[in-house]
Structures are given as structure tokens and as C-alpha cells.
Structure 1
Amino acid sequence: MKRKIATVTVGVVTFAGLGIGPAFAEGGWSSSIGGWLPGKESRHWQDENRDSVATTVRFSGCSARDGSGTNRFRYAGLQLKKERSGLPDPVVARDNNYCDTSNFGDRAAGSYYFNYSNLNGFDQTGYQLKVNEVAVKY
């Protein structure tokens, strides 16, 4: 019986020693959003693409209140953009974030940010977006 336990233990240690295990994000940050109107952009980050982890943006605690205090938030349109020196920054991915996680896939090395492009499909709105927690992983 002891021999089987030792074999399993050695196998697990050997497996872990090979570097096989869960993938960890290269980087990330967390913050909050208060008073954003469509067109606002997040802070920028540098992804060296040293891993195969997808770029994700997680929202929690979302609201966009009107004058009466009614929450009008259904979703926030997000655009992942890649910086290009001296040229317009292209949109490389889009997602409607329903106060959940937007997965933009594994991205090539570069500097990125997300742009808040619309609220519930409208790019012109007086409702200010508030998000209690924004967590970005890349």
C-alpha cells in the first residue's frame, strides 16, 4: 500500500515539475468606472504575449442611472483597441458586456486599451456608466 502512494506522489511531483498546470495571466489590473460617457477609454497596458491567456475585461456592479434614479444599464459596448504609433488605433475585437466578462481572445504582443463605445446600443446618451469593479487580465 505504501508503495502505491509513493508512486502516485512521485508522478504528481514529476508532472508539476514539467511546468504543466493551469495557465496564469501575464498581467492585469483592477479599478472602477464612475461617470463615463461613450467614447471614454480605459488605461493602456502592454501585453508581451508571453503566455496563451486570453485578454479579458470583467465588470461587476454596473449601473447607468437616469434623473429619476432608475438603472438603465443592460450592457456596455466595449471595443478592444491596439495602439499604433502615428496611425489610428484599430479595433481588434468587440463585445457587449452585460456586467460579466468580455473575452477578447489571446492577443499578439502590443499595447492595448478598451474603449466604452455605447450603452445598450446607443453611442449618444446622457446616462453615465458606473462599474464598481473592473478587472483586466492579459
Structure 2
Amino acid sequence: MRKAVAVAMGGVTLLALGVTEASAEGSRTSYIAGWSRGGESNRWYDNNSDSNTTTVGFSNCYTDSSFNSATVAVFQDVSWSPDKNIATKVNYCNTTYYGRVSAGSYYFKLTDFSGGSNLSVDDVNIGW
């Protein structure tokens, strides 16, 4: 009983201090099934209503050969102009961080990967 009260009081104390659990403006979970180089994700819209960074996370990655890494670029979708490359990062089947972006529509593009001609990723987690 004392433990339960102490845990409850600790939570109240954190709320009173203004400490809250961090949460992203938005996120999406998906997968990649046999993409070749140049494959693009669906678009998402970042309102830039928080200070969270844009992330692309991969887990359980494999190719039709031997996977080591994938090169992933995040783009801002720009109407009637070339899309803006925010950053291009190497993902070793982990999470890559692209920084805080301005409000707009975004997507990621699989620009390259090691081993084989097709990449699959069981869990793709996009956060913004």
C-alpha cells in the first residue's frame, strides 16, 4: 500500500512541476515489402506545432542478398517546384534523425541500400 501511495504521489509531484511525458505531434507505423532503389513512402503532414525532430526508424531489415545499410532521404513535397531534400542519412536498421522541419508535407525516399535489388523492412516507424 505504501508503495502504491508513493508512486501516485510521485506522479502528482511530476505533474505539479510541469513534467509531462514527451509525445510527438504525429507518427505512423508501416512496412516496406520488396522496394527497389527510388521507392517512396506515403506523405505525412507536419504542422510544426512542437519541437520534436522528424525520425525514420527501421527494424528487421533484409534484402534478397545480405543487408548492411540503407540510404534514406527525407524530402519536403513542394508544389510546382522540385522537392526539397531535408537530409540524406544512412540507416543501419535503426532510427535516423532528420531534425526539426517547417510545416509542410513530407516523405522519405529509399535512395540506396547494400546487397541485392529489393529491400524489405518489417517495421517502419515515422515520427514528426
Task: Give the TM-score normalised by the residue count of structure 2.
Answer: 0.85
Go from structure 1 to structure 2 and tell me whether the alpha carbon gap of 1:21 and 1:128 turns closer, same or farther (over 3 Å shift): same
Show the 5 A alignment for 1:45-124.
45-65=44-64, 71-120=65-114
RMSD: 2.3
Structure 1 position 15, deviation (Å): 4.7
Structure 2: where are the runs of 5+ without partners?
none
Structure 1 position 13, deviation (Å): 3.1
Could you tell me how far apart the structure 2 residues matched to 1:113 and 1:128 are? Answer: 19
Given the alignment of the two structures, is residue 130 of structure 1 paired with residue 124 of structure 2, yes or no? no
Amino acid in structure 1 at the alignment position of 2:62:
S
Structure 1 position 21, deviation (Å): 2.4
Q: Say how many residue pairs are matched.
A: 123
Q: Is the 8 A contact 2:61 2:121 kept in 1?
A: yes
Structure 1 position 109, deviation (Å): 1.0
Q: % of aligned pairs identical? A: 40
Go from structure 1 to structure 2 and tell me whether the alpha carbon gap of 1:12 and 1:35 turns closer, same or farther (over 3 Å shift): closer
Structure 1 position 22, deviation (Å): 3.2
Query: Which residue number corresponds to residue 22 of structure 2?
Result: 23
Q: Max radius of gyration: which structure? A: 1
Q: Is the 8 A contact 1:23 1:52 kept in 2?
A: no
Task: Give the TM-score normalised by the residue count of structure 1.
Answer: 0.79
Amino acid in structure 1 at the alignment position of 2:79:
S
Amino acid in structure 1 at the alignment position of 2:95:
T
